[in-house]
Amino acid sequence: MHSDCGLGTRVTLERVLGITASGNSGLACDPHSGLVAYPAGCVVVLLNPKKNRQHHILNTSRKTITALSFSPDGKYLVTGESGHLPAVRVWELCEFRQVAELQEHKYGVSCVAFSPNSKYIVSVGYQHDMMVHVWAWKKNTVVAANKVSSKVTAVSFSEDSSYFVTAGNRHVKFWYLDHSKSIKVLPTPVPLLGRSGLLGELRNNFFCDVACGRGSKAESTFCITSSGLLCEFNPKRMLDKWVDLRTSVARSLCVSEELIFCGCADGMVRAFSPADLGFICTLPRPHHLGTDVSSITQASHLFSNKMSARYPDSVAVTYDPVSHWLSCVYNDHSLYVWDVRDLHRVGKVHSALYHAACVWDLQCSFTIPSHPSPCVLPPLSFLSCSADNTVRLWSTERQGHTHTQNVLSKDLLKVIYMDENTTALVETEGSVSVSTEKTDGQTAETRTGIRTICVSPDGKHLASGDRNGMLRVHDLSSMTEIQKVEAHDSEILCLEYSKPETGLKLLATASRDRLIHVLDAEKDYGLVQTLDEHSSSITAVRFAANDNKVRMISCGADKSIYFRTAHRTAGGTEFRRSHHVVRKTTLYDMDVEPSCKYAAVGCQDRCIRIFNISNGKQKTFYKGSQTEDGSLLKVQTDPSGQYVATSCSDKNISIFDFRSGLCVATMFGHSEIVTGIKFTNDCKHLISVSGDSCIFVWRLAPELTMNMREHLSQLRRTSPTPPCNTDTLSVPSFRSLSLSLSSTSLHSPLQALDSPLAPEPSSRPRRRWSCRMGSLELMVKSMLDLRQLEAFSITGSSHKKGPASRLKASDAGSTSSLQGASVSREGERLGERKVEDLHLLYSVCGCASVCVYTLCIYSKVCHVSLQVLSSGSEVNAEQQEMETVLFEALGTVKTELDSLPHLVHRSKGLRGEVAMRGEVGVKGEGDRTLALLQQYSELLLKSVEKRLDNKI
């Protein structure tokens, strides 16, 4: 991955949830590998439909991908882009690297194509560019060129590479290559010879796509008009015949030796015979607009079409003649791959549904510590809201979901439609003429939709605010709307629920109308207070609890930050201004780090300013972007407060160390501004959403993940109160361990507010630690008492015999049952220990998270081995290599642990053990071993992430 500061390798693009193809020039299929290519902003997605796996090519110029095409041998991909001085780029697919950059166009490239002999590439510019170029791409030379006065949307090469055809507005033109001249490298390109097709009475039509014939029809050329006509030109360029597609709008065309596929309106794709343009059949339609995707759990549900339903238009089609798969893109930004081997029994190979317009905001799911009813959202999921007037629930988990799996998408779990109007669900730009060109002033800003969302801390409610000032609240268990209030006169820019440690259940709404409403989430969201101190749009509002007080901080376009403190009055809770800070730059976003001591503010001058929440003073500031252009639009701290991520208006994303301001990673790939960024609560991913309608899931490097988790563990041990954004820290990829921090015994800070009604402050409550599906005490105890490790039949010296020979299949069941019984008995006994005993264990271990994490990897490897052997399956070479690396590392870990002096006998009690350990003075050796453990954990994490996790 490319990066200006050399830190891009710390973050990789793992998943793209979106598509920006608006016509056939943005969709291609490689018949050799079966890969389907389409643009998503500045990224080319290479999709394996059968396995639902993606590979990605990031455009290093950071310009929007507008067109693409495979070479005939499938080894290369050519792309066109838009923007100032756009280039035609050729990419080698085996290494995903750029091998050619062809730059002659000025405004944008509407379509590109390889010649069948792979010698040439033809590129057609936007209408204002008015140029057609033929490239000898391996020599980086234009061999022929000419101007075109019409708007061109499609190009197709003849089977013998002697000519190509362009189509567009009242335009079908045949361009001929003179091989004797074009092979020579001349100082200037020769004029490209072109002759117009004889359109006859169809001369005023818009020809939106063109395809040269193949096989027995190689001398024919097929075109499709936007009015719904399929036309055939004979070898003399004369319009020979045409048929009516019986559709309101036609958009795309795909031709093979046996079939012609025409993409039409209302989800229809019609198939014809190239021999005589005879109609064959109409393919099944996709989902109808407004479909409840969670209810489509069987394939039969998809094919039960509703008479009154509206379907998205088919805007792009491409055919794989080897696999007999037809890929279709619809104008609601959905993608289907159909198996058309038998046209009378068409089946679905793959499908995906994405947002159809700008994505404005996102929220990640979380686990609620010690809450009687856990969050209804599945783990490793997130919500996004869009200008298409929907809120969508996605999963980042690649191996199934806890919720019922639907057949429409592997990633999308649920769609919440805010109303029954389906107009916003489809892309309206280019509906008449298929083109990636946008009209002046026509952007996502003109669309309505959901502007911001927020999930309540108890995981029960989802609040959303739209661009008309309407506030909605949905019950997440049933996904039904329970509140709808006209809260503001203008769009709602920010929603924020108060955190559990505040002792309050409030919702703050901030808008462009300069008002903040504080609502009581416990009393049907009744109005508590309205604040009108800001003089311009309010960009962010946050709650925090520190110094035993409840705070509310807000910032806005008026360059002001207001710090408020909650007071208990006779009328209820009231927020009063405690500090007011004004800066010389607009403040676009703000986030409170988990300890609730500091607030990070993203500013127009590309700086991150850190403010002390208690006194309102600026602590420090540093650059929040690696470039010298644009403004910081979003700032987001990770769950531990170790890093802060920023998005800049130049479409770049950066991650900085929160305290030092050092840049640790940069990312790019979106073609519009990044409107939202969030770290996932497992510290493994960063998710970004953008105005280009795409969602990017970025995979963080293992060292960044480990740093965050270690810092989060330290924060939980040292913080006198639970952090504001606390969440269950789960060991990656292992669901057997889930640590949670309970705050049920904490008293509300409002009980100690400086008001006449405030009661006397109570003593500091005791924190309680809990552990589900296993005992944290048992895990730590196992690391201190090595006899527990003997339950796993692995030793440091056994790796020479190979991983598969260390355990016998006959012993697998007995080993597992003995271990389970031991864990059960030990868990019952240790569960009765006092909380102080666990704190003493922490003082001995020093870095319990590293130990627990190492032991979990240790047990995971054993579990995988037992599964493989018990199933009787043969271990392949890759599994042997994986297990060998892990077993050698784990053997070394055990050897180091064995070198430590054993603790005294259990009968002396845990306190006696701790005292004895301190007396023998093994603190130095313990520190050394823990350092080694951390190194081994990093090695194991990389190995596990590469081999065991869902690698794309």
- Beta strands per DSSP E along 283-324: 314-320
Share of the chain above pLDDT 70, in %: 69
Token reading at 821: 């019984």
Q: With cut-offs at 50, 70 and 90, classify the pLDDT of residue 672.
A: very high
Quick one: which H or E segment has residue 911? helix 909-920
Token reading at 252: 């795309």
Instruction: Give the tens place of pLDDT for each residue, 473-505.
Output: 999 888 899 999 999 999 999 999 999 888 899
Instruction: Give the tens place of pLDDT for each residue, 160-209.
Output: 889 999 999 999 999 998 754 545 556 677 888 889 888 888 888 999 99
Q: With cut-offs at 50, 70 and 90, classify the pLDDT of residue 211.
A: very high
Predicted local distance difference test score (pLDDT) of residue 926: 57
pLDDT at 349 over 60: yes
Angle at 808 between CA 946 and CA 933, to 5 degrees: 40
Q: With cut-offs at 50, 70 and 90, classify the pLDDT of residue 121.
A: very high
Contact 530/489 with Cβ under 8 angstroms?
no
- Is 0.85 topped by the overall pTM? no
Q: For the beta carbon of residue 41, count every other beta carbon within 10 angstroms.
A: 28
Instruction: Give the tens place of pLDDT for each residue, 849-876.
Output: 444 445 555 554 444 444 444 444 444 5
Predicted local distance difference test score (pLDDT) of residue 492: 94
Predicted local distance difference test score (pLDDT) of residue 676: 95
Nearest to 619 by CA among 595, 591, 639, 598: 598
Distance CA 707, CA 758 (A): 40
* Chain centre distance of CA 863: 31
Token reading at 105: 């166009």
Distance CA 456, CA 508 (A): 11
Distance CA 44, CA 359 (A): 19
Looking only at the bridges linking them, the beta strands covering 141-147 and 190-191 are parallel
Q: For the beta carbon of residue 156, count every other beta carbon within 10 angstroms.
A: 23
Contact 144/176 with Cβ under 8 angstroms?
no
Nearest to 474 by CA among 494, 493, 454: 454
Distance CA 535, CA 233 (A): 65
Q: What is 19-353's CATH number?
A: 2.130.10.10
CB burial of residue 66 (10 Å; 0-12, 13-18, 19+): buried
Tell me how far apart the terminal alpha carbons of the chain are, to the nearest angstrom.
15
DSSP designation for 423: G
Distance CA 212, CA 117 (A): 15
Quick one: which H or E segment has residue 723? none
Contact 920/880 with Cβ under 8 angstroms?
no
AA identity, residue 823: V
Contact 394/411 with Cβ under 8 angstroms?
yes
Nearest to 270 by CA among 230, 304, 323: 230
- Beta strands per DSSP E along 764-894: 768-772
Residue 579 bridge partners (DSSP): 563
Instruction: Give the tens place of pLDDT for each residue, 249-268.
Output: 999 999 999 999 999 999 99
* R_g of the chain computed on alpha carbons: 31
Predicted local distance difference test score (pLDDT) of residue 2: 42
Question: Buried (b) or exposed (e) across 828-856, using 16+ Cβ within 10 A?
Answer: eebeebeeebbebbeebbebbbbbbbbbb
DSSP designation for 82: B
Predicted local distance difference test score (pLDDT) of residue 513: 92
Q: With cut-offs at 50, 70 and 90, classify the pLDDT of residue 377.
A: confident
Give 844's Cβ-side CA count (13 Å radius): 26
Instruction: Average the pLDDT over each of 73-82, 706-715, 880-889 and give the range with the smallest value.
Output: 880-889
Token reading at 746: 């904490």
Q: For the beta carbon of residue 802, count every other beta carbon within 10 angstroms.
A: 13
CA dihedral 723, 13, 734, 939 (to 10 degrees): -100
Largest interatomic CA distance in the chain: 102
Q: For the beta carbon of residue 94, count every other beta carbon within 10 angstroms.
A: 7
Q: For the beta carbon of residue 300, count every other beta carbon within 10 angstroms.
A: 9
Instruction: Average the pLDDT over each of 354-358, 363-367, 612-616, 935-939 and give the range with the smallest value.
Output: 935-939
pLDDT at 600 over 60: yes
Distance CA 513, CA 493 (A): 10
Q: Percent helix, strand, coil in the chain (nearest 5)? A: 20, 40, 40
pLDDT at 787 over 50: no
Predicted local distance difference test score (pLDDT) of residue 878: 53
Token reading at 733: 């990829």
Distance CA 651, CA 647 (A): 7
- Mean pLDDT, range 708-725, rounded to an integer: 71
- Mean of the per-residue pLDDT values for the chain? 77
The sign of the torsion formed by the CA atoms of 546, 547, 551, 555 equals negative
Predicted local distance difference test score (pLDDT) of residue 191: 86
Predicted local distance difference test score (pLDDT) of residue 629: 85
Contact 209/270 with Cβ under 8 angstroms?
no
φ, ψ of residue 409 in degrees (nearest 5): -155, 140
Instruction: Give the tens place of pLDDT for each residue, 797-856.
Output: 333 334 333 333 333 343 333 334 444 444 444 444 433 343 433 343 444 444 444 555
Contact 162/235 with Cβ under 8 angstroms?
no
Which of residues 3 and 508 earns the better pLDDT score?
508
Q: With cut-offs at 50, 70 and 90, classify the pLDDT of residue 896.
A: low
DSSP designation for 68: E
- Mean pLDDT, range 603-609, rounded to an integer: 92
Contact 474/495 with Cβ under 8 angstroms?
no
Distance CA 12, CA 945 (A): 13
CB burial of residue 389 (10 Å; 0-12, 13-18, 19+): buried
Distance CA 355, CA 332 (A): 7
Share of the chain above pLDDT 90, in %: 49
CA dihedral 291, 373, 636, 753 (to 10 degrees): 140
Query: Which residues, at least 6 apart from 890, have a Cβ–Cβ distance to it below 8 Å?
Result: 794, 796, 857, 858, 861, 936, 940
Q: Which residue has tokens 């690297």?
A: 97
The sign of the torsion formed by the CA atoms of 101, 102, 106, 107 equals negative
How far are the Cα atoms of 262, 498, 689, 750 from residue 747, in angstroms, in the given order? 66, 15, 37, 8
